[in-house]
């Protein structure tokens, strides 16, 4: 946590009240006392303190339940979180209220390779513009930031990020906190999306699940017992560099046959271009001629039009991802797998291949009740997850 003065829970009961309000909406004092199994006197004292902290307070009388009249408790209406999702080529920002409902959002194209000195000012400008557009008075109490590379979560800095030259060791968290005047947390984009899925996606009620992002690269977020699992050095979930084919193509990391060297956005673009040039797909060759380059989206479009070569590439990729996931299922025995990221837009052709392999190659006990589903959040996963990350910290006792 950045060393910033901030409005945040001071006691365990305050933290539990704030999380209940976030995850379930306004509740009466009587309901809070029931839910938390504490006395109404305790609730009164803690809500009084949350009012002084300008986090939450009374929001009118509750509907009578026949007994003593109660009062509704809710977040302060002026509370705001910012979620910032920095991708390789795009930057998204959302402003939310205390319940993490998105009040405003915007995105711009960027090139993350231009470095923090160029990208962070853009993020700050968009955040400030969105805040300025808010009609009512507001108070930013926290911001979460996701970046497309490994992060030392405790220090709030990117660590040797392969596609982000110039960001290695840059104090992103503290620089953003200084500019925004509120606590900021930094994590990698996959973990942030995982929190978004947990907050409002298909994994909403799941305590133990994997979120697999298939974008330009491939990564995995690990939720264990309701908490983000980051590993001993903060680099858990780096499944894109698991070896899947010992004599496979060279990966950006320098090794051979990593999962993301055989599948993912970059690999698909490479394979599609090669297939077009080798005359293996008329559809892809035409697309290449029109645009000068091919992307994973083109492969998806070609597959949707029935191009056998593209269908084969997606199937083979799904098989490779599925085999890797089957191994991880045997190892970690999760309750759910959510597949997201832009390449997941290839949709059900990819999903059915992944499902087929995982269900065939994992222990029946482990997959008997383990759905594999596509994310439905799209780009919101990143910005909402970033806001969720910092709200988790403020709605907790350190």
* Contact residues for its own copies, defined by CB under 8 A: 150, 159-160, 208, 220, 222, 224, 229-239, 241-243, 246, 255, 323-324, 326-328, 330-335, 361-366, 368-370
CB of 334 to its own copies, least distance (A): 6
CB of 128 to its own copies, least distance (A): 34
Q: In this structure, what token pair is assigned to residue 255? A: 């090794």
* Cα 110 from chain centroid (whole Å): 19
CB of 397 to its own copies, least distance (A): 16
CA-based nearest residue to 188, from 214, 227, 220, 149: 149
CA-based nearest residue to 338, from 304, 295, 297, 378: 378
User: By C-beta, is 24 or 255 nearer to its own copies?
Assistant: 255
User: By C-beta, is 274 or 397 nearer to its own copies?
Assistant: 397
CB neighbourhood size of 24 (10 A)? 11
What is the DSSP secondary-structure string of 261-321?
A: HHSSHHHHHHHHHHHHHTTS-HHHHHHHHHHSS--HHHHHHHHHTT-HHHHHHHHHHHHHH
Q: Work out the widest C-alpha separation in the chain, in whole angstroms.
A: 78
User: By C-beta, is 45 or 332 nearer to its own copies?
Assistant: 332
User: By C-beta, is 151 or 296 nearer to its own copies?
Assistant: 151
Region of 254 on the Ramachandran plot (φ > 0 left; ψ -120 to 50 alpha; else beta): left
Distance CA 155, CA 94 (A): 24
Distance CA 134, CA 351 (A): 40
User: By C-beta, is 141 or 244 nearer to its own copies?
Assistant: 244
CB of 262 to its own copies, least distance (A): 14
User: By C-beta, is 113 or 319 nearer to its own copies?
Assistant: 319
CB of 358 to its own copies, least distance (A): 11
CB of 240 to its own copies, least distance (A): 8
């Amino acid at each position: 946590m950045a060393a910033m003065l901030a409005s945040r829970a001071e006691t365990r009961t305050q933290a539990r009240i704030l999380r209940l309000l976030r995850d379930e909406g306004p509740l009466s004092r009587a309901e809070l006392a029931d839910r938390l199994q504490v006395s109404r006197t305790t609730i009164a004292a803690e809500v009084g303190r949350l009012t002084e902290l300008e986090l939450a307070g009374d929001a009118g009388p509750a509907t009578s339940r026949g007994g003593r009249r109660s009062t509704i408790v809710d977040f302060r209406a002026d509370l705001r979180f910012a979620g910032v999702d920095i991708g390789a080529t795009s930057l998204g920002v959302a402003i939310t209220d205390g319940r993490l409902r998105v009040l405003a959002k915007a995105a711009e194209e960027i090139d993350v390779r231009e470095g923090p000195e160029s990208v962070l000012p853009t993020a700050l400008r968009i955040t400030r513009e969105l805040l300025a557009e808010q009609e009512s008075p507001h108070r930013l109490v926290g911001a979460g930031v996701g970046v497309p590379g490994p992060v030392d979560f405790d220090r709030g800095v990117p660590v040797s990020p392969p596609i982000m030259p110039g960001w290695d060791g840059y104090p992103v968290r503290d620089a953003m906190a200084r500019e925004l005047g509120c606590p900021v947390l930094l994590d990698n984009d996959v973990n942030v999306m995982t929190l978004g899925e947990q907050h409002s996606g298909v994994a909403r009620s799941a305590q133990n699940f994997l979120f697999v992002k298939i974008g330009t690269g491939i990564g995995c977020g690990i939720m264990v017992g309701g908490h983000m699992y980051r590993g001993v050095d903060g680099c858990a979930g780096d499944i894109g560099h698991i070896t899947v084919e010992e004599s496979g193509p060279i990966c950006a990391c320098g090794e051979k046959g990593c999962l993301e060297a055989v599948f993912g956005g970059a690999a698909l673009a490479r394979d599609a271009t090669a297939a077009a040039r080798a005359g293996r797909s008329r559809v892809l060759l035409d697309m290449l001629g029109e645009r000068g380059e091919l992307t994973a989206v083109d492969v998806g479009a070609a597959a949707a039009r029935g191009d056998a070569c593209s269908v084969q590439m997606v199937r083979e990729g799904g098989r490779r991802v599925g085999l890797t996931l089957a191994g991880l299922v045997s190892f970690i025995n999760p309750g759910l797998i959510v597949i997201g990221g832009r390449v997941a837009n290839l949709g059900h052709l990819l999903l059915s291949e992944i499902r087929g392999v995982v269900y065939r190659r994992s222990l029946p006990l482990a997959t008997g009740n383990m759905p594999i589903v596509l994310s439905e959040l799209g780009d919101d996963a990143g910005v909402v997850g970033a806001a969720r990350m910092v709200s988790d910290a403020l709605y907790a006792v350190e």
